Structure 1
Amino acid sequence: MAATEDDCPKLGAHIRAWDYEFEWTPEHMTPEQMRPLMFTYDKLATESLDRLDELISSVPLRPTRKTPSSSDTQRPQEGSPPKGCPHSDFYELLKEHAPNDPTLRRLWTEVNTVPDWVDWAEIERGQQVFYRFGGPSIVSLTFHALLGGMGSHRIVETLSRTGGFGVKVARRRLLETFQHVLDVTESLPSIQPGGRGFASTLRVRFLHASVRRRILRLAAKDPSYFDTSTLGIPISDLDSIGTVLTFSADLIWVGFPRQGIHLTPSETSSYLALWRYVAYLLGTPTTPLSTPSLAKAFMESIVLFDIAPSPTSCILANNIIAALQNQPPSYASASFLRAEAYWLNGKELATKLSIPEPPVFYTLLVAGQCLFFMTMTCLKRTFPSFDKSSIIKMRRRLRELTLEQVGGEEAKHAFQYVPEPGFMTTDDGDEVKKERWNVSVWANASVERRNMLAVVVAAGVAWVCAWNAFAVAGRVSALL
């Protein structure tokens, strides 16, 4: 369970939290140091959102729909667009009105001003890192950053109020998040001012501001709806820093190593540089990502002090597995997805999230997947031309696959999951889960078949090596 201020480690102490080990340094943050960040947030985005509301007040911004019930089936069905949102593209509205409004101009000037610490060549190398390790990146983002991130009891209180992680809509929500990752890593022009990734990030920034403002307004009317004194401001600076770190530092020091992948110092710095700039565009404090040691220390501080799964954490984590199970393109089984969750997060956290422990067979499949990833990494490091061509193919293929799964529609990150009084994603959708878990899709489970092949090949190679070793030993013994 999460530590408290009274448990604050001494300098040089060896820490173990959620099956992750590290040494306490002066760069780590105590709960007392992190707490103020729970109550600060991106005020400029909120002020800009208010101004846009005033400028287009004649057009309703909030989706109109029926009063929600406690079931996520009342939310928009997967694949259905939000209704009544003609002005949900706040990026285009910002660009249009910025020249004539001081508040909007301040935000527009800020995001179009490139900080002195930005090195475009380094950021481009950071983008390449994501595609160089495309497979491990996707697995880590899905099962450690997103599913494991549900272990933060504060963050899930915000997520549960949006309804975006109900069983029927969680997959589309995850695909939209993944589209944003693809947008910011697509190319250097994409993340630069005016590019697709640049615009996508600002849309996400406005989405965060919309959710935050809506929850705070509801809490002002009914303080019991969201306890800010305990949970902090929804999507606070601490939440935003933690989110960016799950997409960067968590991959580098947890997700990749647990799959047998270790980045070079250059790859580490470049990947962090990319996400530091994304944090800047999101209105998130960038200091925690200014150096690898600071990023690692802040991530570890969050792991130690902020991860404490709640009943809601368990529901949302299992909703993710139910939403992804037996779905294209991999058609992975629930048992395999659970095995991924255990492998990436460790048994302690996965158990606390109430994820059923998978059979050993599926753990072996995950091991086979790691062997496959390690083999591909070795080949890429050995043959630069193969590395270059695989990055190009991975970029194109991931974009095609993702768009295919969402019907060819680019994510606009509209405010479609609106917090409402009396609604929370607390129904774990058992009937939906049973319906999906009872489907047998081994014939379509290409990922599981590939991983089984990797296990068989690895076992065969190990057997041949062992046989040859015994044979050589026998010959040497005979000669002696």
Structure 2
Amino acid sequence: MASRKHYNAMANDLRTVGNYSFYWTKEHIPKEKTDPLRFEHDELGAATINVIQKIHQREQEAHKQRGERIEKLDMFATLKANRHSDETLEEFWKQVNAVPDWVNWEQLERGQRFFYRYALGNIVGFALQGFVGENSASTSVVEVLLRTGGFSTRSLRRRLLETFQLVLEVTHSLDFIKPGGKGHETAVRVRLLHSMVQQRMLRVAEVKGPSYYDTSVHGVPMNTLDSIHALATFSCNHAWQQLPHMGIRPPQQEVDDYIALWRYVGHIMGVPTDFFATTSQAKAIMESLSYNELHITPSSLVVGHNFVEALKDLPPVNISAGFIQAGSRRLNGDDICDQLGMGHSGWYHYACFKGHCWLVVGLATAQRWIPSFEAWSIQFCRDILHNSIIHSKYGLKGGSLLDFKYVPDGQITGCEKNDRLDGDRMWFYERPLELLYLIVFCGGCLSMIGTAIIAAYLLLGFVPYSGVF
């Protein structure tokens, strides 16, 4: 009887965010308990930035007096070079290089393979659901993005690439993610950058007042709540809000491994990791924040508009606005996309996105059936993504040091157009990825029609005809 009451209570508390529904349980955290986190931040990171800036200022003065060229600030290099001469820097260095007892390197290595096993789905899902569904609909995140200049159409592409650099480097190999590795360094650089942005925004807000950024409403820039929300997006959304809409439900072990990987990354970046101690806790915090923080504002419309403008018709793949809109609606739901002012696509773009989904499912199925293909596919995706995003001329041309490029200067980004030619003039064959997806879609449709014809033929062959002439 008690279990039935519990079931009825759960059934009466079904909640929906976009096209994702879940039952609210005792593990979920109500808004009144998450809101105080908006006014907390990475205090050690902020203190470290203050020390780094003072050291850099002294070095600048020394170079100036000697008539030498003044070097640009490299926060990580300054931290590393001076970690033994300052207590704050030493504490920070020890904290980011400490490996928690709960870290299992074999599990983290399996978690790294998860990203590349579903690489095509994970990348599209993260771009269209993680950025559109989570960032655009999260009020405080949006307000920070529009005040750093990084969501202008001129700089958004690079900002996305830098985000993918972090993902690719922490998922590359164990050597990359262990202390001293490239991925570990990038995670530390991101943490320092966040503290620097926070410091700069607070200084500008002191001068311009609440009209620029209202801390009483949005909290501290780059606050603890936003950091937890971001970590939940990176670690959880693939498994529950992205891949299932493409036809894939990853096994529980794969989900556990991937969340464990990002829990460790969160530790490096100064994010509270207790919310990710178990998979059920991680899922609950993802759902809680998606539900609590969803609020479309005029700033959300700017972010959504600029996202589509920045990515559409971008060479060499030339993805169309229609495909971005179709994928966004499939992953986020029509309600959220309508509120963001996103356009409606025609059947062609939905067919292309369905082809994308079928291709993702086909590749995942082949990897499960053929272990040698899985090993080859994971390595291939790892190599091609690193080369194209981090090293190629279309990418970051060797990688980014994540320096203080997008400086808050008191300006707020508005809706912008890209500077490329009108994509409506492109032929379908000039969009190679969409063409591939359309071929997969057509092939899938023909396959289903052929299967239905064969099934009907076999059925008619076994059923005796009893008609009367």
TM-score relative to the length of structure 2? 0.92
Pick aligned residue for 1:250 from 229, 237, 261 = 237
Which stretch of structure 1 is more off in the superposition, 131-140 or 332-341?
332-341
Q: Name the SS for the 1:164 alignment partner.
A: coil
* Rounded Cα–Cα distance in structure 2 between residues aligned with 1:352 and 1:231: 21
Q: Name the SS for the 2:101 alignment partner.
A: coil
Give the superposition deviation at 1:352. 1.2
2:162 counterpart residue number: 176
* Rounded Cα–Cα distance in structure 1 between residues aligned with 2:396 and 2:48: 32
Give the superposition deviation at 1:219. 1.6
Q: Name the SS for the 1:165 alignment partner.
A: coil
Query: Deviation string for 1:143-179 (max 9, x for gaps)?
Result: 1111222111221100000011111211111111111
1:76 counterpart residue number: none
1:64 counterpart residue number: none
Give the superposition deviation at 1:439. 4.2
**1:321 and 2:316 are equivalent in the alignment:** no
Pick aligned residue for 2:108 from 123, 132, 157 = 123
**1:424 and 2:412 are equivalent in the alignment:** yes
Kindly tell me: are residues 85 and 371 of structure 1, through their superposed partners in 2, closer, same or farther at Cα, counting changes over 3 Å?
Answer: farther
Which stretch of structure 1 is more off in the superposition, 452-461 or 147-156?
147-156
* Rounded Cα–Cα distance in structure 2 between residues aligned with 1:449 and 1:222: 49
Give the superposition deviation at 1:444. 2.5
1:203 counterpart residue number: 189
For residues 55-94 of structure 1, what are the structure 2 equivalents within 5 Å? 55-58=55-58, 86-94=71-79
2:4 counterpart residue number: none
Give the superposition deviation at 1:479. 6.0
1:401 counterpart residue number: 388
Runs of 4+ in 1 over 6 A off after TM superposition: none
* Rounded Cα–Cα distance in structure 2 between residues aligned with 1:60 and 1:167: 33
Give the superposition deviation at 1:119. 0.5
1:141 counterpart residue number: 126
Is the 1:10–1:24 contact (alpha carbons within 8 Å) kept by the matching residues of 2?
Answer: no
2:16 counterpart residue number: 16
Identity %: 32
1:163 counterpart residue number: 149
In structure 1, list runs of 5 or more residues that go unmatched.
1-8, 62-83
Give the superposition deviation at 1:254. 0.6
Answer with 1 or 2: which has the greater Rg: 2
2:289 counterpart residue number: 302
* Rounded Cα–Cα distance in structure 1 between residues aligned with 2:126 and 2:197: 22
In structure 2, list runs of 5 or more residues that go unmatched.
1-7, 62-68
**1:413 and 2:398 are equivalent in the alignment:** no
Aligned residue pair count: 447
Give the superposition deviation at 1:193. 0.2
* Rounded Cα–Cα distance in structure 2 between residues aligned with 1:448 and 1:262: 24
1:476 counterpart residue number: 462
TM-score relative to the length of structure 1? 0.90
* Rounded Cα–Cα distance in structure 2 between residues aligned with 1:38 and 1:238: 5
2:445 maps to a residue whose letter is A
* Rounded Cα–Cα distance in structure 1 between residues aligned with 2:292 and 2:136: 14
* Rounded Cα–Cα distance in structure 2 between residues aligned with 1:252 and 1:47: 36
Q: Name the SS for the 2:21 alignment partner.
A: strand
Give the superposition deviation at 1:86. 3.2
Q: Name the SS for the 2:403 alignment partner.
A: coil
Is the 1:144–1:345 contact (alpha carbons within 8 Å) kept by the matching residues of 2?
Answer: yes
* Rounded Cα–Cα distance in structure 1 between residues aligned with 2:70 and 2:399: 16
**1:390 and 2:384 are equivalent in the alignment:** no
**1:96 and 2:85 are equivalent in the alignment:** no
**1:234 and 2:221 are equivalent in the alignment:** yes
* Rounded Cα–Cα distance in structure 1 between residues aligned with 2:438 and 2:109: 35
Q: Name the SS for the 2:151 alignment partner.
A: coil
* Rounded Cα–Cα distance in structure 2 between residues aligned with 1:477 and 1:377: 37
Kindly tell me: are residues 116 and 87 of structure 1, through their superposed partners in 2, closer, same or farther at Cα, counting changes over 3 Å?
Answer: farther
Which stretch of structure 1 is more off in the superposition, 457-466 or 86-95?
86-95
Q: Name the SS for the 1:248 alignment partner.
A: helix
Is the 1:331–1:441 contact (alpha carbons within 8 Å) kept by the matching residues of 2?
Answer: no
Pick aligned residue for 1:290 from 260, 263, 277 = 277
* Rounded Cα–Cα distance in structure 2 between residues aligned with 1:393 and 1:295: 30
Give the superposition deviation at 1:308. 0.8
Kindly tell me: are residues 368 and 252 of structure 1, through their superposed partners in 2, closer, same or farther at Cα, counting changes over 3 Å?
Answer: same
Is the 1:162–1:418 contact (alpha carbons within 8 Å) kept by the matching residues of 2?
Answer: yes
* Rounded Cα–Cα distance in structure 2 between residues aligned with 1:301 and 1:383: 38
Is the 2:161–2:396 contact (alpha carbons within 8 Å) kept by the matching residues of 1?
Answer: no
Give the superposition deviation at 1:409. 2.8
* Rounded Cα–Cα distance in structure 2 between residues aligned with 1:464 and 1:443: 27
Is the 1:44–1:107 contact (alpha carbons within 8 Å) kept by the matching residues of 2?
Answer: yes
2:77 maps to a residue whose letter is E
1:71 counterpart residue number: none
1:406 maps to a residue whose letter is G
* Rounded Cα–Cα distance in structure 2 between residues aligned with 1:383 and 1:304: 39
Query: Deviation string for 1:183-230 (max 9, x for gaps)?
Result: 111110100000000000011001100111111112223322211111
2:405 maps to a residue whose letter is Q
